[in-house]
């Protein structure tokens, strides 16, 4: 297989059997209607507008791969080549065991899939046959392999179950697939919180009631606004939370980020915020796409966060009520603080990391298996639904390696875990874009 390198505004092509891989160096050169036709039903993070927004970050070289057959685009995948520093939770040195022996620090680093949002999907023509979908997946994966340079590393991170299932038959013996995280999603019923209350246990219903009472008794009032209507008020609150979790940022930086998002993505935004005496004291910024509200970042006034239960009201309860009224069917709360989210009705869905052509010695393979088993065991203790059919196939693949073994059984938890959830916000918000 041969290929050429794309320059600004130009296409590069690579033969891939019956498929031709066409590359664009900016998503502006990909017809938006064509891309979004492939991304129909996919996440916010696969959409043309989100990818265009990300191009303002100049730390990597973007490419957009289109798999075409007989003049028709069947599949697509964004890709980024990092010559230096990589966003923290996309850095293989953070994700792989014994990174010093796996090439995880080598550059350039080729990252297939989105670089922000913790969700990577292979985008496919909704009308593609199973044979066409697998052919496009194979062609795109082969092109990612080709773009890896000697000594570097190529990976696809935060793959959904559906995309991992499509890629599994195309993997070679030196490809490493492992669980790296999970995302929490809450179904939104037409009757809003009443529907959620019907799905959770007695202790959680009491917790919801108490936390909503805290919000009211603190004198907080909810509003839901587009980002353009309130972004100038959010920077200090966001920075306060992020700094607490070790992110090097400032109120000015966060204000600039919100201004940029308001300028480029405003019609996708919904800010669920709380005011007290006219002042914004907390907020959660959501983006809405394809019937899903994606929680991106929150900010809280430290003096009120705990006593008013601001985080839980703005990110869960008032967000669900608003979502139900707006016809939204899913709340996507991303990664982190998984147990807290499960306690409030979320389902955990696996997110997979695929490292291509990564030779490991016996010790490296054993460490990777141990890391995978530890993660899936931890998540399964909170939500046994994490053990999907894809998880079973990955376990079989790992067990088939030299020195491999089956995963230990994990006892399913009771329907209502006894551990109490924290009363302030439990984890750092997403901060990858």
User: Quick check: helix, strand or coil at residue 240?
Assistant: helix
The predicted structure's pLDDT at residue 7: 40
Poorest-pLDDT segment among 78-82, 91-95, 116-120, 420-424: 420-424
Structure token digits, residue 162: 């559906």
Distance CA 348, CA 373 (A): 16
pLDDT at residue 404 is higher than 50: yes
User: What is the structure's pLDDT at 152?
Assistant: 83
In this structure, are strands 330-334 and 109-112 parallel, antiparallel, or unpaired? Answer: unpaired
The CA-to-CA distance between both ends of the chain, in Å, stands at 35
Half-sphere exposure of 369 (CA within 13 A, CB side): 21
Q: What is the mean pLDDT of residues 225-248?
A: 93
Q: Check pLDDT > 50 for residue 422.
A: no
Count other Cβ atoms within 10 Å, centred on residue 8.
8
The pLDDT value recorded for residue 9 is 41
pLDDT for the residue 97: 74
pTM listed for this prediction: 0.90
Q: For residue 99, what pLDDT is reported?
A: 59
For the stretch 128-143, pLDDT in tens is 999 999 999 999 999 9
Cis peptide bond N-terminal to 84, omega within 30: no
Query: Within 13 Å and on the Cβ side, how many CA atoms surround 42?
Result: 31
Burial 211-233 (b: 16+ CB within 10 A, else e): bbebbeebebebebbebbebbeb
Q: In the chain, what percentage of residues exceed pLDDT 90?
A: 79
Mean pLDDT of the region 195-200:
95
Residue 125 has pLDDT above 70, yes or no: yes
Bigger pLDDT: 114 vs 418: 114
For residue 83, what are the contacts with CB-CB under 8 A and spacing of at least 6? Answer: 60, 61, 107, 108
Q: What are phi and psi of 374, to 5 degrees?
A: -65, -45
Output the pLDDT for position 68: 97
- Let me know: does 215 contact 274? Beta carbons within 8 Å: yes
Q: What pLDDT, on the 0 to 100 scale, is given for residue 282? A: 98
Mean pLDDT of 376-405: 94
Helix axis angle, 251-265 to 235-244, nearest 10°: 120
Q: Distance between CA atoms of 103 and 134, rounded to whole angstroms?
A: 29
CB 66 within 8 A of CB 23: yes
Beta carbons within 10 angstroms of residue 331's beta carbon: 24
Q: What is the DSSP letter of 313?
A: I
Which segment of 10-24, 171-185, 231-245, 256-270 scores lowest on mean pLDDT? 10-24
Predicted pLDDT at 47:
97
- pLDDT bin (cut points 50, 70, 90) of residue 432 is low
Read off the pLDDT band of 370 (50, 70, 90).
Answer: very high
- H or E element that contains 33: helix 32-38
CA distance 411 to 432: 34
pLDDT for position 98: 61
Mean pLDDT of 60-82: 96
Rounded to an integer, the average pLDDT of 181-205 is: 96
Spell out the alpha helix ranges (H) of 76-149: 92-95, 130-147
Residue 412: pLDDT band (50, 70, 90) is: very low
User: What per-residue confidence (pLDDT) applies to 245?
Assistant: 83
CB of 78 closer than 8 Å to CB of 110: no
pLDDT of residue 17: 62
pLDDT, one tens digit per residue, over 6-36 is: 443 445 555 556 899 999 999 999 999 999 9
State the chain's mean pLDDT as an integer: 89
**How far apart, in Å, are the Cα atoms of 29 and each of 116, 125, 308?**
20, 19, 48
Q: If residue 76 lies in a helix (H) or strand (E), which one and from where to where?
A: strand 72-82
Are 102 and 187 in contact by the 8 Å Cβ rule? The answer is no
pLDDT of residue 151: 72
Name the more confident of 410 and 277. 277
- Would you list the DSSP string of 247-287? ----HHHHHHHHHHHHHHHGGGEEEEEEEETTEEEEEEEEE
Question: Does position 430 have pLDDT exceeding 70, yes or no?
Answer: no
Mean pLDDT of 39-45: 95
What pLDDT is recorded for position 173?
A: 94
102 pLDDT tier (thresholds 50, 70, 90): low
Q: 257: which residues sit within 8 A by CB, 6+ positions away? A: none
Query: Which sign, positive or negative, has the C-alpha torsion 155, 161, 167, 173?
Result: positive
How far is CA 102 from each of CA 12, 107, 237, 277, 356, rounded to the nearest angstrom?
Answer: 30, 12, 40, 55, 11
Among 272, 21, 46, 28, residue whose Cα is nearest residue 162: 46
Query: Which residues on neighbouring strands pair with residue 340, listed in sequence order?
Result: none
Helices 362-382, 389-399: inter-axial angle, 10-degree rounding: 150
């Amino acid at each position: 297989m041969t290929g050429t390198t794309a320059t600004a505004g130009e296409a590069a092509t690579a033969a891939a059997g019956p498929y031709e891989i066409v590359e664009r160096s900016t998503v502006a050169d990909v017809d938006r209607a064509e891309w979004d036709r492939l991304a129909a039903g996919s996440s916010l993070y696969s959409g043309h507008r989100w990818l265009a927004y990300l191009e303002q970050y100049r730390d990597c070289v973007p490419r957009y791969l289109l798999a075409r057959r007989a003049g028709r685009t069947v599949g697509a995948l964004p890709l980024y080549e990092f010559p230096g520093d990589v966003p923290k939770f996309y850095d293989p040195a953070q994700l792989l065991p014994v990174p010093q022996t796996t090439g995880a620090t080598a550059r350039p680093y080729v990252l297939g899939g989105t670089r922000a949002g913790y969700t990577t999907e292979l985008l496919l023509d909704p009308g593609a046959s199973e044979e066409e979908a697998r052919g496009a997946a194979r062609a795109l994966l082969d092109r990612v392999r080709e773009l890896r340079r000697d000594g570097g590393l190529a990976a696809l991170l935060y793959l959904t179950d559906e995309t991992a299932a499509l890629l599994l038959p195309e993997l070679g013996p030196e490809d490493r697939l492992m669980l790296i995280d999970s995302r929490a999603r809450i179904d939104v019923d037409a009757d809003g919180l009443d529907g959620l209350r019907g799905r959770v246990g007695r202790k959680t219903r009491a917790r919801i009631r108490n936390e909503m009472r805290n919000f009211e008794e603190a004198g907080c009032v909810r509003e839901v606004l587009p980002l353009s209507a309130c972004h100038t008020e959010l920077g200090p609150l966001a920075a306060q939370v992020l700094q607490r979790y070790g992110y090097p940022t400032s109120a000015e930086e966060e204000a600039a980020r919100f201004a940029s998002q308001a300028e480029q993505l405003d019609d996708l935004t919904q800010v669920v915020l709380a005011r007290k005496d006219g002042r914004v004291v907390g907020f959660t910024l959501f983006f809405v796409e394809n019937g899903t509200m994606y929680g991106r970042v929150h900010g809280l006034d430290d003096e009120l966060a705990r006593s008013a239960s601001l985080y839980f009201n703005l990110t869960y309860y008032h967000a669900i009520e608003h979502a139900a009224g707006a016809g939204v069917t899913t709340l996507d709360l991303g990664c982190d603080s998984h147990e807290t989210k499960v306690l409030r009705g979320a389902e955990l869905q696996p997110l997979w990391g695929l490292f291509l052509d990564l030779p490991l010695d016996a010790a490296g393979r054993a460490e990777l298996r141990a890391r995978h088993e530890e993660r899936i065991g931890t998540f399964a203790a909170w939500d046994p639904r994490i053990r999907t059919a894809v998880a079973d196939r990955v376990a079989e693949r790992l067990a088939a390696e030299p020195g491999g073994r089956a995963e230990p059984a994990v006892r399913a938890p009771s329907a209502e875990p006894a551990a109490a959830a924290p009363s302030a916000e439990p984890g750092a918000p997403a901060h990858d874009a």
